[in-house]
Amino acid sequence: MNIALIGYGRMGHAIEKIALSRGHKIVLTIDKGEDDKFKSPIWKEVDAAIEFTGPSSAESNCRQILNMGIPLVCGSTGFMTPELMSEFMILCKKGATFFYATNFSVGVNILFALNQRLASLMTHQDEYKAQVEETHHIHKLDKPSGTAVTLLSDLIKFNHRYKDWSLVDNTDNDFNKLSIDTIPVKAYREGEVFGIHQVSYTSSVDTISIRHEAFSRDGFATGAVLAAEYTKDNNGLLTMADLLGI
């Protein structure tokens, strides 16, 4: 496939490495300040665009690419809202292809499935209090991570005791000031950590946790390239659950 990379930072470079190793061509890269490249004639040859820029640039990049009719894989976090997703869904109903995931790694998508099941099992176990924690590198702009937001949203969807979440101080362990229906979430920023996510339920007698730790960016990058390949035969609004069949 001929792939355009929007955002040529840590993830852009990791995706380039995996895409080349799978026989694809990177025919265009657009980084900050290179908006003129959106007018390049090379777009006629692009099979899919992969967008990993960040919270302040993703919305306009996505809108621009979707309106160009190019299948789009987007992994940027910290910008998606229900209203924007509805807008992109309408574009998809008119023929656009938008593959979005807050985390493209297979492991985290298995964690998402486990989180949904655990949340549902915990609905009637009032003695267990939920907590979400994530750790990332110090360069990360959004807090909590997109993956943590997905874990929290799913937890609220599948566990009827919770209605909201709140970012708390990392040193704070007294959650009594939070409303009983609010999940505390802690976001740690340390060194060059690729990404650790944990959901825990704690009672006075024990703790149950599910946890994922990325050892590199290769898992995210491989998932993004698999997603681009998936857009060859699949259209509309797509997710990793579609690709993995889970």
Ligand X SMILES: NC(=O)C1=CN([C@@H]2O[C@H](COP(=O)(O)OP(=O)(O)OC[C@H]3O[C@@H](n4cnc5c(N)ncnc54)[C@H](OP(=O)(O)O)[C@@H]3O)[C@@H](O)[C@H]2O)C=CC1
Residues annotated as catalytic (active site), given as ranges: 136, 140
Quickly list DSSP for 128-184.
-EEEEEEEE-TT--SSS-HHHHHHHHHHHHH-TT--EEEE--TT---GGGS-TTEEE
184 binds, among ligand X, ligand LZUJQKHR, none (CB under 5 to 8 A by kind): none
76 lines the binding site for ligand X (CB under 6 A): yes
CB of 73 to ligand LZUJQKHR, least distance (A): 14
Minimum CB distance to ligand X smaller for 61 or for 131: 61
Can you read off the two tokens belonging to residue 155? Answer: 């937890």
148 burial via Cβ count (<10 Å: 0-12, 13-18, 19+): buried
Asked whether 225 and 22 are in contact (CB, 8 A), the reply is: yes
Q: Is 57 in the site for ligand X (CB under 6 A)?
A: yes
- Check: CB of residue 62 under 8 Å from CB of residue 54: no
Q: What is the DSSP letter of 3?
A: E
Q: And the tokens for 37?
A: 């490249």
Is the CB of residue 2 less than 8 Å from the CB of residue 24? Answer: yes
Distance of alpha carbon 130 from alpha carbon 174, whole angstroms: 13
**Residue 7 binding partner per list ligand LZUJQKHR, ligand X, none, with a CB distance cut-off of 5 to 8 Å that depends on partner kind:** ligand X
Q: Which sign does the torsion angle of CA 98, 104, 108, 113 carry?
A: positive
| Of the residues 21, 22, 25, 31, which one makes contact with ligand X according to CB under 6 A | 31
Which one, 146 or 184, has the nearer CB to ligand LZUJQKHR?
A: 146
Shortest distance in whole angstroms from residue 171 CB to ligand X = 24
Q: Is 6 in the site for ligand X (CB under 6 A)?
A: yes
Which one of residues 53, 77, 109, 115 is an interface residue with ligand LZUJQKHR (CB under 6 A)?
77
**Segment near ligand X (CB under 6 A); pick from 10-18, 112-120, 167-175, 225-233:** 10-18
| Interface with ligand X, residue 143, by CB under 6 A | no
User: Residue 100 Cβ, how far from ligand LZUJQKHR at the closest point, in Å?
Assistant: 12
Give yes or no for residue 147 binding ligand LZUJQKHR (CB under 6 A): yes
**Distance in Å, CB of 99 to ligand X, minimum:** 11
Give the nearer residue to ligand LZUJQKHR in terms of CB position, either 103 or 231. 103
